Structure 1
Amino acid sequence: MSRTAPDVARAAAQWLALLESGTAGERDHAGLQQWRDSHPQHEQAWQKAQLLRQRFAELPSSLAMASLDRPQPGRRAVLKRALGVAALVPAAWLLSRQLPLDVWRADLHTATGERKRVPLADGSALQLNTASAVDVNLAQRRLTLVDGEMALSVPGASALTVHTRYGQVIASQAEVCVRQLAHGCLVSVLKGQVHVQDGSGRSALVHDGQQLRLQASGLGAPVPFDALQLGWRDGVLTAQNQGLGDFLRELDRYRPGVLRWDPSLEALRVTGSFRLDDTDRILSLLATTHGLQVQWRTRYWVTLAPRRTLA
């Protein structure tokens, strides 16, 4: 097949809908794996599709077909055609809306759970966190954070400007992390100082150890922050008496697929440092220390609940 971004996105949506339909068999799973392995763009598309499925987790997981037993081949074909109407079009539409082409076409990008270090030609160093995308234009001294989170170290005096959807960050002889959120951007300075400018041209100076929220409505006030919040740069997720719900929402960023938990777990507290290279182990540790059970529907569909609520 042609490996243009729309074609790859459409194929990922089709595989996603088939697997979530409850009708997929061993041959389907093998076919998906073969498709994922056949080209790096396919694997990246699948990881993005899993993230999208998670964001729209309120959609029926079985697409109204959970009650059907394994169908005969002829009936199976009918179900697939039904999926084409009921699921594939919405999934492809959601992919096109939630994963726009500029993400697919970015110079640098990471899949869900992937982190990447990139030395730049000017001596600066760039790190991408999970599910992130960045365009690089060193000729114009400009980086564009298309999606996700990045860390940038600029050792020289020649400034680099990071463009976001909400404004820009200008850094020289500084280390800074920039994370795009659903309704804003979080700028955290680890070394030196950076200038932050919103879309209206208003600016603020953010110093070492300070964090500022940049939104469409303007600039927040710089406040102190704990550098352990940025442990992802070393592959670590750290919590200090953090609510389990908040911790799981952060962990969710690093896991492809669907992660759910019983609302009664929100108020439990978590303290510790966890390696992001093995998020399954993190879930197992949480289950052990908090008396939980982990229900694995598939490798990519996991639910946490108090031990008493699961059979």
Structure 2
Amino acid sequence: MQAQKSPGSRHIRNDFAPDVVQQAVEWILALQDAQQPQKIRADIANWCAASPEHLQAWQQVEQLSGRFGLLANPEHAQLAQDTLTATSPSRRTVLKGFSAILIASSVAYVSRESGLIRQWQSDIHTATGEQRKLTLNNGTTVVLNSNTAIQLDDSHSTLSLLEGEIHVSSKANGDEPISLLSPNGHIQLSPGSRLALRQFKDNCRLAVYEGEARLRPAQASNSCLISAGQATRFTAHEWSPLTAVRQDEAAWIDGMIVVRDMPLAEFIAELQRYRPGILRLDPSLAAYPVSGTYPISQTDQVLEALSDALPIRQRRVTRYWITLLPV
């Protein structure tokens, strides 16, 4: 379907309802991977005809896709959704994200051929489903989980988590302890400590497995000492009461998800972190408990195992768009 562009369609509107934009992005993904595109185009036409907002959202998502080629990669679909629904300050941030992707795309060939990518080692990131292990100059080991971005200072004594999740092991006899920064606060590791730090939308979760770490929220005057076996969530202003942490929570560094009676909705949200595209769950299935050990790199097999163990079935529009439904 070739939607007609309105005179102002070159300007990005950013006040669409989130569910409308989500559907428009899903149509793009479905169209790009469809074995029967004519049926998808007919469905899109019907959807656009149902509402002027549907048509305008489709036009702008299609425009972004055609102009930048971004939505051909499901990992970038969320950027399109955020661009069309964000308020002005965060919209500028999201548009900077588009620019970063465009720059990365344009220099990808040159980087592969000339080794320029090595110049970017102070700005390290992983894609969906990718993990990466680093050893810093001071001997600290850092593992980046899926969709994670970090920055390092020149001395490697301070690491900033921009998004995602990291697992950090500080050297037992290190002369200079490493510091971790996030948008929510500052963490000082003691020598020989091992911890995981995960950035959520408006807070962080810190889990200490060995040693100890001192946490100071960004806008707080006091700090908290977190010892081995303890975890907390914290914002820029405060931390939550300490809770116990399981050692197998860090199984992701070995490529596994280990869960015990986790509600299916939460499990699917975890699995989605490692799988590009759209993975939806019918709300009626949300409370089913899931236990076991599941490989991060084999999400298709994990979904098959869930279908065998629980009364659910998969509806696949494309390989990037799956909905789990009751049998």
Output the TM-score relative to the length of structure 2.
Answer: 0.68
- Residues 103 and 232 of structure 1: CA distance in aligned 2, closer, same or farther (over 3 Å): farther
- Residue of structure 1 in register with 2:315 after alignment: 295
| Contact 1:107 1:136 survives alignment (8 Å) | yes
Q: Distance in 1 between matches of 2:158 and 2:185?
A: 13
User: Deviation of residue 63 (structure 1)?
Assistant: 11
- Residue of structure 1 in register with 2:63 after alignment: 88
Q: Distance in 1 between matches of 2:284 and 2:125?
A: 36
- Residue of structure 2 in register with 1:65 after alignment: 44
- Residues 289 and 66 of structure 1: CA distance in aligned 2, closer, same or farther (over 3 Å): farther
| Contact 1:22 1:66 survives alignment (8 Å) | no
- Identify which of 140, 145, 152 aligns with 1:124: 140
Q: Residue 171 in 1 paired to residue 192 in 2?
A: no
- Identify which of 114, 119, 130 aligns with 1:114: 130
What are the equivalent positions in structure 2 for 1:155-304 lying under 5 Å apart?
155=171, 156-173=174-191, 174-199=193-218, 200-304=220-324
2:196 counterpart letter in structure 1: C
User: Deviation of residue 188 (structure 1)?
Assistant: 0.6
User: Deviation of residue 191 (structure 1)?
Assistant: 0.8
2:44 counterpart letter in structure 1: M
- Residues 242 and 294 of structure 1: CA distance in aligned 2, closer, same or farther (over 3 Å): same
| Contact 2:137 2:155 survives alignment (8 Å) | no
- Residues 183 and 21 of structure 1: CA distance in aligned 2, closer, same or farther (over 3 Å): closer
- Residues 237 and 23 of structure 1: CA distance in aligned 2, closer, same or farther (over 3 Å): closer
- Unaligned runs of 5+ residues in structure 2 are 1-23, 48-55, 65-78, 85-90, 102-119
Output the TM-score relative to the length of structure 1.
Answer: 0.71
Q: Distance in 2 between matches of 1:85 and 1:198?
A: 40
- Unaligned runs of 5+ residues in structure 1 are 1-15, 30-60, 69-80
State the secondary structure of the residue aligned to 2:44.
coil
User: Deviation of residue 64 (structure 1)?
Assistant: 7.2
What are the equivalent positions in structure 2 for 1:71-82 lying under 5 Å apart?
none
- Residues 214 and 121 of structure 1: CA distance in aligned 2, closer, same or farther (over 3 Å): same
Quick one: percent identity of the two aligned structures?
Answer: 27
1:208 counterpart letter in structure 2: A
- Residue of structure 2 in register with 1:46 after alignment: none
State the secondary structure of the residue aligned to 2:146.
coil
1:63-105 deviation line (CA, Å, top 9, x unaligned): 972549xxxxxxxxxxxx9955454359283586448549877
| Contact 1:18 1:24 survives alignment (8 Å) | no
1:118 counterpart letter in structure 2: L
1:172 counterpart letter in structure 2: S
| Contact 2:215 2:224 survives alignment (8 Å) | yes
- Residue of structure 1 in register with 2:50 after alignment: none
State the secondary structure of the residue aligned to 1:122.
coil
Q: Distance in 1 between matches of 2:26 and 2:167?
A: 37
Q: CA RMSD in A?
A: 3.4
- Identify which of 137, 150, 155 aligns with 2:166: 150
- Residues 250 and 63 of structure 1: CA distance in aligned 2, closer, same or farther (over 3 Å): farther
| Contact 2:30 2:321 survives alignment (8 Å) | no
- Residues 136 and 291 of structure 1: CA distance in aligned 2, closer, same or farther (over 3 Å): same
1:176-210 deviation line (CA, Å, top 9, x unaligned): 11000112000111110001011123210000010
- Residues 136 and 272 of structure 1: CA distance in aligned 2, closer, same or farther (over 3 Å): same
1:115 counterpart letter in structure 2: Q
Q: Distance in 2 between matches of 1:103 and 1:184?
A: 24
- Residues 159 and 21 of structure 1: CA distance in aligned 2, closer, same or farther (over 3 Å): closer
- Residues 65 and 249 of structure 1: CA distance in aligned 2, closer, same or farther (over 3 Å): same
| Contact 2:29 2:320 survives alignment (8 Å) | no
